[in-house]
Structure 1
Amino acid sequence: MTDSHADKMVSPLEISPMRISPLHSAALTFPEQTAVKCNGQDISYASLSQMVLGLGEQLTRIGIRQGQPLACISRNNLEMICLYWACIDIGAIFFPISPRFPLAQVQGLIDSHQIPCYWSETELGLTGCTQLSLDVAQISTTPAKTVDIQRPCNVILTSGSSGFPKAAVHNLANHIANAEGARSLIPLIKGDAWLLSLPLFHIGGLAILNRCALVAAIVVLPESNLALQEQVERDALTHISLVPTQLLNLLADKQASLTSIKALLLGGGAVSIDLLKQLEQRHIASFTSYGMTEMGSQITTGPALSDGTSGKLLPRRELKIVDDVIWVRGECLFMGYLTENGIEKPLDADSWFYTKDKGEWDANGNLKILGRVDNMFICGGENIQPEEIEAALKLHPLIDEAIVFPQPDITYGQLPAAIIRGNIIRGNTSQDMSTIEKQLEQFLADKIARFKRPRRYYPWPENAEQIGLKVNRQLIIKLAI
């Protein structure tokens, strides 16, 4: 029971593993082209290249060696961008950690991965690890050296929704293959401007840096004192990666000019009908994708649809479905997980990676994600896949987002409950949800079986902040109940 799709091509990566990084290559070809927009300042590729080379020299003097992890605990900023490229130059491993992690968790990561040095905007007081003081204003005019694009260059921590997060290791060749495949569907050219709205400790944020450098496009850092609509207009943004809340805020201002936007990339899964209508009215090309940290970001991509499909397989990836579960491999596939015994590859004998995502191909060759193997639960002897119910709920014009989860029940073992966000719930509280429950019971009657319909609904927690393109299910459930 295997359904396999593959998109292969001869890879230049196999021919030339030694080259200067995409950043320095862009600086040589288009030195005056803007590389980064930061706090109203335009930094050219030539200037950014010199800053990165200067930072690399500082790291070398401090004693950061090839293969050594360097923790970076910060929000997105110019220093983080420079540190990523400087680590590639000197062969160190860029190891970004969310500044939202509790200090004890950060210390645990430092200890378990034996990280000797870290950089942060603030003093954290970590033990057994030296905090670095770096200056991106120190430039170097030394010519860039070639790097081995197949050596480890970064770690991205998996979501870690339960237990200790895994540390996925990529090389630059993985990122180049992912970016070139992604560009085959969503064009990106010199001078385009992509908002760095996703954090660099998520694969989606790091993917933006690589995509832009490969074509000399502009990375635009968000400004907290500007509304998103204002930044779109001021910086003529062409590409944006957004979560539903950000998109809703962007579309709320009917007077805002969004004509510069060429492509809007959303997280995977079904997009609400209301959002799709608004995007069509504003003539904004929107896309959804199926991706993961281990594959360097996007795997499939296609136009945003309400049916929950995530598009077609991009070049340089392979995907097969065995007994409804997705396996992937290809040039984008990571090097493995960083452990105390080195980099360990969790692959089968033929180099396939087991994703734990359930999926199927539709009649048009688009991938539809059916849910996570580890999200499924049993209600009265019947298997419940929460993502199927969530997609049905998002067909309602007043629901933007939904999460379905099990709640204990004496009779059935577990019953489905749902957390919903959208206009349907505005003005209601958790104490007077009975009207909404009746409305949605009727709405779902012809869409899903009775045993799958949620028995209880909760409003989306107001203090839930979404960081990456994927919703942190466990956090939302914890905050809601």
Structure 2
Amino acid sequence: MSESNALASAKSILQLRISPLHNAALTSPTQTAVKCNGQDISYARLSHMVLDLGEQLTRIGVGQGQPLACISRNNLEMICQYWACVDIGAIFFPISPRFPLAQIQGLIDSHQIPFYWSEAELALSGSHQLTLDFSLDVSPTSEQAAIAFDIYRPSNVILTSGSSGFPKAAMHNLANHIANAEGARSLIPLVTGDAWLLSLPLFHIGGLAILNRCALVAATVVLPDPALPLQAQIERDGLTHASLVPTQLLHLLTDKQASLSTIKALLLGGGAISIDLLKQLEQRHIASFTSYGMTEMGSQITTGPTLSDGSSGKLLPRRELKIIDGVIWVRGDCLFMGYLTDKGIEKPLDADGWFYTKDRGEWDENGNLRILGRVDNMFISGGENIQPEEIEAALKLHPLIDEAIVFPQPDTTFGQLPAAIIRGDILRSGTANNTSQEISAIEAELEVFLADKIARFKRPRRYYPWPESHEQTSLKVNRSLIVKLATS
């Protein structure tokens, strides 16, 4: 055999692996894989469930390369379907159950999805709703065994709205997820016996990343218990890790008596974290991290300890990042396969394999990445460029503001003027009850507060309270939805 053929053969062998789930079942069979409402499911048991589900899907006709839409909130069934799709080569295609039925139907039609599973009965046409058995009592048969497969074949789709708001279907393979998880673990240690809260939905990349991180080291995925406050679940389930958005962090820190002694690390939502929240974390001696990431890169790209300057840490292993004309480009082992379209998988890369993120950024003097905002968020006011994220970071320096979104409002003189949506104790009488006089007083207070932080033309002319009806489900804020809810 020639040297080149030998290398190709060795590479093909390395590509063939059983999934991390089944590997964990072999190395740590009694270790808890999933905690579900206080019930422990071992890796051996979960492996049997997934193998049985894979056989069910195969008998039904779900085959390699076929998308299986899963329309549900996080639950044990969704976890099993992800790993079963990985096994049989089907495409795990999670969809938010909060999407309007017409939007779900549009996704079914545009991607020609032949099968779907949902907790609820859905009247979708052109696709067959599956009834599956997820019995915990399944027993292994002599025929059941994990089979090695090519980890570079497509495994899942995650919908990402991008700048247009129209969902793009980002396709990943298992190799992408493994590379991302291994790089993330280099900074935030995760070992067998640790327990990570699945607080982010599986239809977002942050949720799916938790499954892959835990399976690789036989750690435990903990499903949130709606009957328990987060503080109580931390104590009951011995949580060590959690990915949280600012609202969840606020609720977590509200109970000053709550014991958080088991927490090793918190991965917090992107963007600047308010000074008040940082002080509370320091007082509790809780290690927290912020990161810069995206669906197309399988989750985290840079990560670092949470700092008041809003920086996003240093580049993780197996990623590459460059900044051209102030805009970030990325590539590496984590980079997705492309967008799933009716023409197949389309790769929006340049000739050298770089992906244009549309995120503006720079490296600071400490080698940390600082995100300056989205190219497509910038607007012009009176001939001046306005970058909303710069103003938001300045607002969150106020000790009584936890979150802020800045957006343009039409103006006859300047074309557009900045306005802001804010959340925090600065809204003294509660979001729903602030009077126009109280809002005017807040505007006056913030005008003085921002005077030495940003130029006059960048300061918001109007403030809106954060819509309480919005529940954030991703580490990234849905800006357009919050603006719509706050101003309607």
Smaller-chain TM-score bracket? over 0.9
Deviation at 1:385, TM superposition (A): 0.1
2:274 alignment partner in structure 1: 272
SS in structure 2 at match of 1:16? helix
Aligned AA for 2:56? Q
More deviation, 426-435/328-337: 426-435
SS of residue matched to 1:358: strand
Question: Separation in 1 of the partners of 2:155 and 2:245?
Answer: 27
Question: Are 1:473 and 2:479 matched, yes or no?
Answer: yes
1:181 aligned to 2:183?
yes
CA contact (8 A) 1:156 1:201 kept: yes
Number of the residue aligned with 2:140: 140
Distance 2:151 2:16 in 1: 6
The separation in 1 between residues aligned to 2:13 and 2:406, in whole angstroms, is: 48
What secondary structure does 2:69 align onto? Answer: strand
Offset at 1:217? 0.1
Identity %: 82
Please say if residues 193 and 219 of structure 1, whose CA atoms lie closer than 8 Å, have aligned partners that are also in contact: yes
Note if contact 1:311-1:366 (Cα within 8 Å) is conserved in structure 2.
yes
Q: In 2 relative to 1, CA 421–369 (structure 1 residues): closer, same or farther, beyond 3 Å?
A: same
Cα deviation code 1:213-232 (max 9, x no counterpart) = 00000000001111101000
Residue of structure 2 in register with 1:429 after alignment: 434
- Is contact 1:193-1:238 (8 Å) kept? yes
- Matched ranges for 1:158-173 at <5 A: 158-159=160-161, 162-173=164-175
* Structure 2 equivalent of residue 285 of structure 1: 287
Task: Letter of the 2:23 partner, please give it.
Answer: S
Specify the alignment match of 2:461 in structure 1.
Answer: 455
Q: 2:376 & 2:294 partners in 1: Cα distance?
A: 16
SS in 2 for 1:374: coil
Q: How many angstroms apart in 1 are the aligned matches of 2:46 and 2:93?
A: 21
Q: Residue 320 of structure 2 corresponds to which residue in structure 1? A: 318
- Cα displacement (A) at 1:13: 7.9
Q: 1:469 to 1:14 in 2, by over 3 A?
A: farther
CA deviation digits over 1:224-275, x for unaligned, max 9? 1111010000001000000101100000001100010000001111110000
In the alignment, residue 140 of structure 1 is paired with which amino acid?
A: P
Q: After the TM superposition, which residues 35-114 of structure 1 pair with which residues of structure 2 at under 5 Å, given as runs? A: 35-114=33-112
Q: Which residues in structure 2 correspond to 1:203-242 (within 5 Å)? A: 203-242=205-244
Deviation at 1:163, TM superposition (A): 3.7
> Equivalent residue for 1:202?
204
1:8 equivalent in structure 2? none
Kindly indicate whether structure 1 or structure 2 has the higher relative contact order, using CA contacts under 8 Å at least 6 residues apart.
1
Q: Measure how far apart 1:426 and its partner are.
A: 2.8
Residue aligned with 2:261, SS: coil
With over 3 angstroms needed to count, the CA separation of the structure-2 counterparts of 1:332 and 1:289, relative to structure 1, is same
| 1:309 paired residue number | 311
For structure 2, the residue ranges without an aligned partner over 5 or more in a row are 1-9
CA RMSD between the two structures: 1.1
The separation in 2 between residues aligned to 1:56 and 1:387, in whole angstroms, is 45
C-alpha displacement of 1:140: 3.4
1:87 shift after superposition:
0.3
- How many residues are aligned here? 470
- Aligned partners of 1:13, 1:101: CA distance in 2, in Å? 41
Q: In structure 2, how many angstroms separate the alpha carbons of the residues matched to 1:161 and 1:345?
A: 17
Q: Could you tell me how far apart the structure 1 residues matched to 2:332 and 2:163 are?
A: 26
In the aligned structure 2, how far is the partner of 1:252 from the partner of 1:38? 25
CA contact (8 A) 1:312 1:365 kept: yes
Partner of 1:365 in structure 2?
Answer: 367
Deviation at 1:15, TM superposition (A): 6.5
Give deviations 1:329-385, integer Å, cap 9, x for gaps: 000000000000100000000000000000000000000000000000001100000
Name the amino acid aligned to 2:345: I
Equivalent position of 1:443 in the other structure: 449
Following TM superposition, by how much is the alpha carbon of 1:429 offset from its aligned partner in structure 2, in angstroms? Answer: 1.5
Question: CA contact under 8 A between 1:289 and 1:301: conserved in structure 2?
Answer: yes
5+ long unaligned stretches in structure 1? 1-11
| Residue in 2 that maps onto 1:253 | 255
Partner of 1:26: 24
Partners in 1 of 2:473 and 2:189 — Cα distance? Answer: 25
CA distance in 2, matches of 1:163, 1:31: 43
**8 Å contact kept, 2:163–2:376:** no
Q: Does 1:374 align with 2:376?
A: yes
**Helix, strand or coil at the partner of 1:354:** strand
Alpha carbons 1:272, 1:396 under 8 Å: kept: yes
1:370–1:14 CA distance, 2 compared to 1 (3 A) = farther
